């Protein structure tokens, strides 16, 4: 295992001489073995970097039986791909941390050229050491096959079987939004929610829990289904809410991007935000903070979500014998914005 730097070959033995640790310790540290302490690992890796050492991937794969390649399975219903601001931010932070830990990433799909294969077969074909799964249909047999296989798997925003799940605290996020809207004097709060997923269930639970704690009665007509990241469906739901004989004073949307559909419908009806109708989104993407008025929303910590997913996936790969699956909850932050009007409470 060595790297060619100019005309010089930098070997593990060279690094050992430079930093004073045995070749065995150097090798383990470079492969991030948990047998070596963090301080020692940091010293050895810093020395290797200064000397221009790069491991030969083929030799490393033979020695560790790992490819240092992580799979990413991400398929949202609207087929937004990396144009999906929230998940692209999560995946980017996952990528940054994975690369810091010495891993490459591969996007998993059914298609390799003209070949059709399952997600599991694709992971095996690309020799993925582990895979992170986000925004998929967990009832899909191909997804179930992958998650239940021997390949270490981390899920994002979904609890599935015995996998480690990295979860945004959607229950708290929705409750914080409702409490802020209520504190602003609103008693007629409508909620347009996304499709039937575990995220939606927690957000709906948070909405109803908050309303119940505030002794707030919510008419059934105030709860409307739509789809995440789909302005059109949110626009149609907004039209239905505004046409009610007793319309809400504030509408909560599935996500910040979907809110655009609601905003367009509100403007089409000659209404102004927040003077005539108040609104709130979810996710806290960049768009929400450049719109005028600035959107009231709940920012999910995409950096922490992606980073924790990468760290735990690598831990599960490196230490499969002792790694224990867990649920890791990531807190977010309420962004008050200017889209919720202050009313005189009843």
For range 222-239, the mean pLDDT: 95
Closest CA to 211 of 194, 186, 243, 234: 186
State residue 246's pLDDT score: 96
Domains of the chain, CATH where assigned: 2-64 (1.10.260.40), 69-168+302-331 (3.40.50.2300), 170-300 (3.40.50.2300)
Longest Cα pair distance anywhere in the chain, in angstroms? 81
Q: Check pLDDT > 90 for residue 70.
A: yes
Pairing of strands 327-330, 2-5: unpaired
Least confident of 97-101, 135-139, 311-315, 321-325: 135-139
State residue 158's pLDDT score: 84
- Determine contact, residues 180/282, Cβ cutoff 8 Å: no
In the beta sheet, which residues pair with residue 61? none
CA distance 241 to 257: 19
For range 150-154, the mean pLDDT: 92
């Amino acid at each position: 295992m060595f790297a060619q730097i100019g005309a010089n070959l930098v070997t593990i033995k060279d690094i050992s001489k430079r930093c004073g640790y045995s070749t065995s310790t150097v090798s383990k540290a470079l492969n991030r073995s948990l047998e070596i302490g963090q301080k020692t690992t940091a010293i050895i890796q810093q020395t290797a970097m200064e000397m221009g050492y790069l491991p030969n991937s083929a030799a490393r794969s033979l020695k560790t039986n790992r490819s240092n390649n992580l799979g990413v399975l991400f398929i949202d219903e609207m087929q937004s791909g990396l144009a999906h601001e929230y998940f692209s931010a999560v995946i980017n932070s996952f990528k940054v941390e994975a690369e810091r830990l010495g891993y490459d990433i591969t996007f998993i799909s059914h298609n390799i050229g003209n070949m059709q294969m399952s997600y599991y077969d694709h992971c095996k074909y690309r020799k993925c050491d582990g895979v992170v799964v986000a925004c998929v249909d967990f009832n899909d047999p191909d997804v179930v096959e992958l998650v239940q296989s021997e390949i270490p798997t981390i899920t994002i925003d979904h609890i599935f079987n015995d996998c480690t799940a990295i979860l945004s605290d959607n229950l708290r996020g929705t409750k914080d939004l409702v409490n802020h809207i209520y504190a602003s004097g609103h008693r007629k709060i409508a909620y347009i929610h996304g499709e039937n997923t575990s995220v939606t269930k927690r957000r709906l639970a948070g909405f109803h829990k908050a309303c119940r704690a505030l002794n707030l009665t919510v008419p059934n007509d105030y709860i409307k289904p739509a789809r995440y990241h789909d302005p059109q469906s949110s626009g149609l739901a907004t039209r239905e809410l505004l046409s009610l004989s007793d319309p809400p004073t504030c509408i909560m949307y599935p996500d910040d991007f979907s809110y655009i559909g609601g905003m367009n419908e509100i403007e089409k009806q000659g209404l102004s935000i927040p003077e005539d109708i108040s609104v709130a989104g979810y996710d806290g993407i960049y768009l929400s903070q450049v719109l005028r008025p600035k959107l009231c929303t709940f920012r999910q910590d995409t950096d922490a979500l992606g980073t924790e997913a990468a760290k735990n996936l690598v831990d599960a790969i490196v230490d499969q014998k002792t790694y224990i699956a867990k649920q890791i909850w990531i807190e977010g932050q309420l962004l008050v914005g200017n889209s919720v009007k202050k009313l005189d409470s009843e």
